[in-house]
A = this chain, B = another copy of it.
Amino acid sequence: MKYLAIVSYDGTRYAGWQIQPNGDSIEEEIEKVLSKILNTPTKIYGSGRTDSGVHALGQTFHFEAKEITDLGKFTYSINSLLPKDIFIKNIKEVDDSFHARYLVKRKEYKYLINVGEYDPFEKDHIYQLLRPLDISLMKEGLKLFIGEHNFQNFTSKEEDESNFVRTIYEASIKEENNIITLDFVGSGFMRYMVRNLVGSLIEVGLHRLSIEELKKMMDTKKRKVCQYKAPANGLYLVEVKY
């Protein structure tokens, strides 16, 4: 049988989602517990990676196992063995043809920025910028990203995809109690893409990058990768849709 799980995690003390030779990964922690409970080596397949320090509210993965009769009890058992910064929210049975990575339709990410006073409680969960941002200018910049675009300049330099085109369906920005929340819903995001988009918008909001310059960065005649990567601690994978 095939099962789809939704997991949330605080990525602070992990080297990222993917199993690494050095450092703990979320994938490894979950595989260890699943293999123990199912009493057989069990591989999990995530919707994609998240980088070191990046969080998830709704990362997804699938795995195969013999029939699990009580999924509620099973989920409870896994959570009781997992580290306290990883929490399986839900597990359900899916069709044999399902694949957590290949069948993704949309992904949603959000990014949090503190533009007020330093908050020692949220140091790992909200980027502590601590300076005001020009939101209306950032809104203008954000509009440039919506739609189908070649985002070759907003992924990592090492990334060498055959196709840099992605679609951003929705993007929004709001401010509440000195916390700015940026939200992105798209067909898929390349490595560092959200952090590069947000990093560039922060430069715009600080009046250090103009809308004209941002437009030039979207120009794809020659590849010139973005230099403004926002830190990992403000980024959350919110939801994966199939």
A-side residues, CB < 8 A to B, are 8-10, 55, 79, 84-87, 89, 117-121, 123, 125
Find chain B residues with CB under 8 A from A85 CB.
120, 123
Instruction: Give, as a whole number of angstroms, the nearest-CB distance from A29 to chain B.
Output: 12
Find chain B residues with CB under 8 A from A117 CB.
89
Query: Which of B84, B120, B121 contacts A120 (CB under 8 A)?
Result: B84
Where chain A touches its partner, the secondary structure class is loop
By the criterion CB–CB under 8 Å, are B8 and A86 in contact?
Answer: no
Docked pose: A86 CA to B121 CA in angstroms: 9
Query: Which of B86, B118, B125 contacts A79 (CB under 8 A)?
Result: B118
Instruction: Give, as a whole number of angstroms, the nearest-CB distance from A14 to chain B.
Output: 12
Docked pose: A125 CA to B118 CA in angstroms: 17
Docked pose: A43 CA to B123 CA in angstroms: 28
Find chain B residues with CB under 8 A from A120 CB.
8-10, 84-87
Find chain B residues with CB under 8 A from A86 CB.
120
Find chain B residues with CB under 8 A from A89 CB.
117
By the criterion CB–CB under 8 Å, are B123 and A84 in contact?
Answer: yes
Instruction: Give, as a whole number of angstroms, the nearest-CB distance from A101 to chain B.
Output: 23
